[in-house]
Structure 1
Amino acid sequence: MDTQHYAQEIVKELEGSVSGLNAGEGEALTELLLRAGQIFVAGAGRSGLMGRAFAMRLMQAGRTAYVVGETVTPGIGPGDVLVLGSGSGETKGLVSMAEKAKVIGAAVVLVTIQPDSTLGRLADYTVKLPGAPKERPDGGYTTLQPMASLFEQTLLVFYDAVILRIMEQTGQTSGRMFGKHANLE
């Protein structure tokens, strides 16, 4: 199979995954983010990269958003929201973050394949994404793509859909958001 055919197969998998999104969970997350004081976003590996993209769009849409671990990220507090992206819901560093955020009084959101996970049990809000896990229990795979690529792609599409809802509800446009685009590049 050549790269064009692989790309077409990836799009088919992504279409199947996105068709399983729960609109109610997305709406609940949108409403929570609109009410939040500050929004903190975290994830490990490629899920973390999708989270960084989400935090950037949140900022451009007028929300106060930070990426956990950056030197300019302030402390989280009551009324704030921590959004975690984790396919497994078991990433140890994210579990520690969630525990600390809850003690402080912030809301914890988990976007995951596994809502019945350690992070899922800690989270105040859970969004289940229909991505494929890295590996099936029998050692086989449920996706053509390597590792958790389908989850990570679905995560980015879901995050962008939340941004579109925030834009719609706040009267944002791409043109207005471009005013907050980085200009020192």
Structure 2
Amino acid sequence: MYTYKNLVEQVIAENKTTLLAVDENEISQLMDEICKAKTIQLYAMGRMQLSVRAFAMRLKHMGFDSYVVYDTTTPCIGEGDLLIVHCGVTNVELNIIKLAKEAGARIALLTAHPENEHGGYADLTVRVPGQIFGGAEEVASIQPMSSLLEQSLFLFVDIITMLLIEKTGISLDEMKKRHTNLEGLPHKFA
């Protein structure tokens, strides 16, 4: 039987193993693609979309022109743009990748399975090997379904954000100025 504390230890250990397995050359390529893109559009389904939305927000805070695919304010995608897809294993994602590729966008895939058909369309893939199907090439998890990959992608994009802050020289004050001011925070916290 599990206890809260040993589950915390196991979940953190799974995420650490997954994140440390990511190739730093792939990370560097991803950051280069982000920095040169006119606009950045991000896509994922279900719980994976939580990491997409979080990353799109941080990219906006850093001054990148970023959007979540299918939001009402998302523009058309084309030459010079970057589509970042989290997970990249479903037919829905494959269709979006193909449409973006046809429009001339570059494709970055953050996935446990860069070897699949989706990866064949990508200009770059970043292998984040958290469990999704339970295959031998994935980091095994005691967690249900694809929880490990979902968590790892969220942590991964937050780490990429910190690396991009360093790479671009963006200050936290600049980022704060781009954050919404409609939260109603007391002045001492704003």
Which ranges of 4 or more aligned residues in structure 1 deviate by more than 4 Å? none
1:94 is displaced (CA, Å) by: 1.2
Q: Which moved more, 1:172-181 or 1:114-123?
A: 172-181
Runs of at least 5 residues in structure 2 that lack an aligned partner in the other structure: 184-190
Aligned to 2:109: 110
1:133-162: per-residue Cα shift (whole Å, max 9, x none)?
23348xxx9211111111111111221222
Q: Partner letter of residue 149 of structure 2?
A: F
Aligned residue pairs total: 180
**2:3 and 2:32 mapped to 1: Cα distance?**
43
1:176 is displaced (CA, Å) by: 2.1
Aligned to 1:11: 12
Aligned to 2:41: 40
Q: Partner letter of residue 72 of structure 1?
A: T
RMSD over aligned Cα, in angstroms? 1.5
1:169 is displaced (CA, Å) by: 1.7
Query: What's the TM-score once normalised by structure 2's chain length?
Result: 0.89
**2:82 and 2:66 mapped to 1: Cα distance?**
9
1:148 equivalent among 146, 149, 152: 146
Query: What's the TM-score once normalised by structure 1's chain length?
Result: 0.92
Runs of at least 5 residues in structure 1 that lack an aligned partner in the other structure: none
CA contact (8 A) 1:44 1:91 kept: no
**1:10 and 1:174 mapped to 2: Cα distance?**
30
Alignment of 1:123-162 (within 5 A): 123-136=122-135, 142-162=140-160
